[in-house]
Amino acid sequence: MKETRSKLAIWTALLAIALLGSCSNRDSANGDNSKISADRARETSEGSVDTKPQLKYTSGIRSIFEDSKGRFWFGSHQEGVCLYDGREFIYYTVSDGLSDNQVRTIQEDRVGVMWFGTGNGITSFDGDEFEIRTGGSHGSLDVATGEAWHKEADDLWFPGDGGMRRGTAGQGVYRYDGRTLSYLAFPLPPGVEEDNPYLVTGIVKGRDGTVWFGTYPGVFGYDGRSFTVINDETAGIETGMERFHVRSIFEDSRGNLWIGNNGLGVLLYDGRAVANFTEQHGLGSRDVGPSGPLSRIFSIAEDAAGNIWFGTRDNGAWRFDGESLTNYTTEDGLTSPMAGTIYRDKRDALWFGMGDGSVCRFDGESFEVIY
């Protein structure tokens, strides 16, 4: 009898272990979904916290945007775009209707439709369906000039066809005025149509009505009548072995245009002349080596206090308070040496999209990993 009870106890224990393993396997499989369960994203009624929702991107964050509903969108380098609605992450890719999985810009129009500038065209999303808006021939899409020019505050601007196609398709910009898309071609020098170097890397609406477009070889400013061109030939600064390779542009609250180069560092245009801000502070490649700590600038922003922030490829983020520069790295809470984008939300918090696919937020002293 004792032997029988002993065998029964052993079989009962083995059955319990098997059932536990089966539940564990189901939990693991369910956790691999592209949408993270809302139940896992919020606190339970008992007060315990389930798994915190995390972005699954690894290719890097290219864009961040807070929409009119207070939801956040995160554009990746190669994995599509993600919406966080406060409870869960929802992922969208080319299989859902995006024109490309590299999402470089995110905007919202006046009626709440989302617009994505991708590596291969423009896509809109009304909450139900995606629609690819550009690609192929431009046809008669032209931006009006001269007396017909007008710039509205809620105009949306996009790189021409994402800037990734060969030929002249990427060497200009699109404008959406709430009704139609129009196309503005850049005044290109002779002989550049075939290799297409004028890929658009940044767009800024200036306070005086000028719209600024950053491209690899330089910056174009358009006021409705003519272009201002800032490049190797017109900048009036010594570039040495480095050439213009613009990766970011930003106009601050004082009207100064900051230009982030991949190599030259930070350039500052005050409306009259261009100065090499990086070299003035002794942080350029010619000052400290092949890649100076403020030489490769991929993002620029301004905080509520008027400080200017620079996101670099190799050396984290820098803050300029008008007199001195402060460097923030992984020792301060950043997750990667590369800060590919900086976004200021509606509450004036700064969000940093990192090269490893995570998102950090600055609390005034250090960085907190949000996702």
Residue 164's pLDDT is 45
Residue 220 — left, alpha, or beta (φ > 0 → left; ψ -120 to 50 → alpha)?
beta
CA distance 227 to 189: 13
Handedness of CA 155, 161, 164, 169 (dihedral sign): negative
Residue 132 lies in a domain: no
6-10, 207-211, 342-346 — which is least confidently predicted?
A: 6-10
Structure tokens at 286: 């010619």
Q: Is the pLDDT of residue 146 over 50?
A: yes
What integer best gives the mean pLDDT of the chain?
82
pLDDT of residue 96: 97
DSSP symbols for 271-320:
SS-EEEHHHHTT-SHHHHSSS-TTSBEEEEEE-TTS-EEEEESSS-EEEE
For residue 27, is pLDDT > 60? no
pLDDT in tens, 161-200: 644 444 445 588 999 989 888 888 888 877 665 556 788 9
- pLDDT tens for 37-83 read 333 233 222 334 456 678 999 999 999 999 999 999 999 999 999 99
| Tokens read off for 181 | 């898309």
Tell me whether residue 355 is in a domain.
Answer: yes
pLDDT score of 321 more than 90: yes
- DSSP bridge partners of 281: none
Q: What is the pTM of this model?
A: 0.82
d(CA 132, CA 145): 26
Structural domain of residue 267, as residue ranges? Answer: 232-371
Q: Based on the structure, what is the number of domains in the chain?
A: 1
CATH number at residue 307: 2.130.10.10
Residue 189: what pLDDT?
Answer: 79
Task: Assess contact for 14 and 21: CB atoms under 8 A.
Answer: no
Model pLDDT, residue 147: 54
- What CA–CA distance (Å, rounded) separates 79 from 302? 28
Answer whether residue 343 is part of any domain.
yes
| Average pLDDT value for residue range 323-344 | 97
Given a cut of 70, whether residue 144 has pLDDT beyond it is no
Give the three-state DSSP class for 19: helix
